[in-house]
Structures are given as structure tokens and as C-alpha cells.
Amino acid sequence: MIPLPVETVFEGKVRYMQIIDKDGNTDENLDPKLSKEMLRRMYIMMLVTRMFDDKALKLQRQGRVYTYPPCLGQEAAQIGSIAALEEADWMFPSYREHGCYLWRGAEMKWMLAYLMGSELGMKIPEGKNNFLVAIPIATQTLHAVGAAWAAKILGHKVASIVYFGDGATSEGDFHEAMNFAGVFKTPTVFFNQNNQWAISVPRKKQTASQTIAQKALAYGFEGVQVDGNDVLAVYRATKEAIDKAHRGEGPTLIEAITYRRSMHTTADDPTKYRDAAEVKSWEEKDPIKRFKIYLERNGYWSDELEQKTVERATSEIEKAIEEAEALKLDNPEDLFMYTYSKMPPHLVEQMNELMEYLKEKQ
């Protein structure tokens, strides 16, 4: 069950938004009426994200990439939100936002290189305001607020969006970031992908709050809850929050109710802590299925387009795998190269020691 909006002691309440239900029925009053081209692109990227995710999982099982965090079931939350950003806005991911990277122009070759253990995979292309993958839980919330505050001080019309899971809301970094954002009214969108599980800890044991969205109220700004499997609702809520940030009206917390249908990472066995019937029930709320129904009803999609998209994406993914596996990814110096614009003396010393040691071992 998706929690209902909750009245609070704060002046106002948490809004809940859904536009396309699990059967593809649409609330015409809330539909953002995006162009056919935009809607098609969003669907294609959701589909490509799922295909990339499936292939990466298989590569890990074959020993061709290292630990991998699947995003099956979270495609609408990712694509719907990232599509609402302007080019100059900053994106701060956690470690599961593969769809966000793909939308913002990341090459699959380098995404795979990162999964193969190469530092080069996280080298952000010039002009792309994408931050690095954040493995530590919730640390990226502070980075996002800092970047947004800097933009505000400089007078730049730039917002930041930061992605995190329900488990991150139990970390001190999350609350410090929320407090700072509220006090200084930074142009930040906190985007919580509430996928119901933080590894083996269920949402009900994560917090006693009826919603995660309402946590924003204590810090003095708006919290919104959306159906995270409804790409149009996610887009609309994020666009409203980004526009508000650009107008200088401060931060927003969005709680996207979704579900992690796969394992937390490939080091995890979810069958040990959750029931198969629970997973099955969320398959009926599949974000790609419901969006496809919406597009077909509006005459924007067909089986022919689906087939062509799948064929093209399959070819692109296979080519990216070939290119990634052909790269030279074992340069030890890369471990030291990309933290500072100019490497400090202590890192230079450590790098030289390592390289000398490896040279002696040859």
C-alpha cells in the first residue's frame, strides 16, 4: 500500500501525486502534456536502462564486472526526475542511478569500465554537470547542498538534485544537509527513491514517520510524495521543484514510492529476508508497462517501434561491452589521479612508492 498524504503540525501537508495508475489510466488534470518526442525519449531511456541493467547483472554473474547494484523497477523514478533538469543543473547520484547517467549522456563503455574496476569510468566528460557515484550512504546529500549554495552565492540560476534511498534518511549526513538547505534556502532537490528496503532492513524499521516526505517539514521546506512507478508524476513533481529552486524559493524533498525488485547488490541474497509474493505484487505496478499503455493509447508507440528500439539498444550495449573489455584498465596510477586537480605531495609519495614496489615485483 502506498501511504496516503498525512496532515502535519507544520502549516500545510504532504502532497501525494499520481498521474498514471498501474493499469495505465490517466488523470488528465495533472498530465504535464509533454511533446510526443519527449515522451518517446523518456520511454526509450526507461527501456534502455532496464536492458543495460539486465546485461550488467549477467556480466557480473559471468565474472566480467565486479559488484553491481541493479535498478530493476526504478526506471520511472530515475528517468522521470532526471528529465526535468536543465543542462546546467547538477546531478548527485548514489550508486544505483544508471538511468540518470544514461539520460545525461554518459557512455555505456565508461559505465562498464567503472564496474570493471577502472577509475577512468568515473571521469566525467567536460561540460557535463554529473557528479561521481557515491558508495558511502548519504554523503552525496552534503555535496549537493554545497554545490547549490555555491551557485546561489555566485548568482547562477542552477539547481542540484541528489538521489538517495530510504536507508540514507537514517544517516546524520542526510539531516545535516536538510537542515543546511532549509536554513540557507539552497536550490536543492532531495530525491528519495523509497524502494522499501535498505539491504535487509524494511522501510517500516527505518523510520517511525508515516512518510519520508514529511521530514522536510521539520526543516522548513516542502515535502512531496509521488508514485515512483509513474514517470509523469515523477516528472511533474521534479519539474515543479526544479523551477522553484531556479526562482530562488529554496529546496524540496521528493519521496518517490517505488520498489527494488532485484537484489540490493550482487553480494546480496534478498530471498533470505523478503517474501516472493511481495516482489510479485510490485511487478503488477511495473513502470515501463504502464507508461507503454499510456503511449499506445495516445498513438505515440507501437510494436514496430518497440522492436526497433530493442534491436538498436541490444547492438549498442554489446558494442559498449566489447569496447570496455578492450580498454587497458590496469594502470595503478589511476588510483591517485582524479581526486585533486593537482595531486598533493603525500599522494605523489604514495604513488611513487607503489609504482616502485610493482616495478620490483616484475
pLDDT exceeds cutoff 80 at 21: yes
pLDDT in tens, 235-283: 999 999 999 999 999 999 999 999 999 999 999 999 999 999 999 999 9
Asked if 140 and 170 touch (Cβ cutoff 8 Å), the reply is no
Lowest-pLDDT range of 12-21, 203-212, 223-232, 310-319: 12-21
Domain identity same for 218 and 347 = no
Q: What's the pLDDT score for residue 9? A: 38
DSSP conformation letters of 100-134: HHHHTT--HHHHHHHHTT-GGGG-PPTT--B----
In a domain, 320, yes or no: yes
CATH number for the domain including 206? 3.40.50.970
Q: Which of 98, 104, 261, 264 is catalytic?
A: 264
pLDDT exceeds cutoff 50 at 302: yes
Domain identity same for 29 and 148 = yes
Asked if 5 and 17 touch (Cβ cutoff 8 Å), the reply is no
Domain identity same for 103 and 172 = yes
User: Which letter does DSSP use for residue 166 in this model?
Assistant: G
CA-nearest of 286, 100, 71, 285 to 195 is: 71
Confidence of residue 330 (pLDDT cuts 50, 70, 90): confident
Q: Find where cell 544505483 sits.
A: 96
Instruction: Assess whether 98 carries a catalytic annotation.
Output: no
Domain identity same for 228 and 293 = yes
Q: What residues make up the domain containing 353?
A: 331-362
Q: What's the pLDDT score for residue 12? A: 52
What average pLDDT does the chain have?
A: 94
Domain identity same for 201 and 115 = yes
Q: What's the pLDDT score for residue 339? A: 81
CA-nearest of 168, 89, 104, 176 to 135 is: 168
Helix (H, G, I), strand (E, B) or coil at 225: strand
Domain identity same for 224 and 342 = no
Q: What's the pLDDT score for residue 80? A: 98
Domain identity same for 338 and 322 = no
CA distance 131 to 107: 15
In a domain, 43, yes or no: yes
CA distance 170 to 18: 26
In a domain, 278, yes or no: yes
Helix (H, G, I), strand (E, B) or coil at 23: coil
CA distance 340 to 117: 19
Q: Which of 61, 156, 273, 357 is catalytic?
A: 273
Confidence of residue 2 (pLDDT cuts 50, 70, 90): low
Q: What's the pLDDT score for residue 10? A: 42
In a domain, 6, yes or no: no
Instruction: Enumerate residues 6+ apart whose C-beta is below 8 A from 310.
Output: 47, 51
Q: Give me the percent of the chain exceeding a pLDDT of 70.
A: 97
Domain identity same for 308 and 345 = no
Confidence of residue 211 (pLDDT cuts 50, 70, 90): very high
CA-nearest of 133, 256, 126, 136 to 189 is: 256
Q: What's the pLDDT score for residue 6? A: 46
Asked if 164 and 141 touch (Cβ cutoff 8 Å), the reply is yes
User: Which letter does DSSP use for residue 136 in this model?
Assistant: S
Instruction: Assess whether 273 carries a catalytic annotation.
Output: yes
Confidence of residue 329 (pLDDT cuts 50, 70, 90): confident
Asked if 85 and 239 touch (Cβ cutoff 8 Å), the reply is no
Q: Quick one: average pLDDT of 278-301?
A: 97
Asked if 164 and 193 touch (Cβ cutoff 8 Å), the reply is yes
pLDDT in tens, 122-176: 888 888 999 999 999 999 999 999 999 999 999 999 999 999 999 999 999 999 9
Helix axes 75-82, 36-61, angle to 10 degrees: 130
Instruction: Assess whether 66 carries a catalytic annotation.
Output: no
Q: What is the pTM of this model?
A: 0.93
Q: Quick one: average pLDDT of 304-319?
A: 98
Asked if 177 and 220 touch (Cβ cutoff 8 Å), the reply is no
pLDDT exceeds cutoff 80 at 328: yes
Lowest-pLDDT range of 105-119, 236-250, 332-346: 332-346
Q: What's the pLDDT score for residue 11? A: 52
In a domain, 239, yes or no: yes
In a domain, 5, yes or no: no
Asked if 282 and 259 touch (Cβ cutoff 8 Å), the reply is yes
Q: Which of 260, 261, 290, 294 is catalytic?
A: 260
Domain identity same for 127 and 214 = yes
CA-nearest of 327, 286, 325 to 43 is: 286
CA atoms within 13 A on the CB side of 320: 24
Domain identity same for 240 and 274 = yes
In a domain, 347, yes or no: yes
pLDDT exceeds cutoff 70 at 1: no
In a domain, 308, yes or no: yes
Domain count, the chain: 2
Domain identity same for 276 and 317 = yes
Confidence of residue 120 (pLDDT cuts 50, 70, 90): confident
Q: Quick one: average pLDDT of 27-51?
A: 97
Domain identity same for 311 and 355 = no
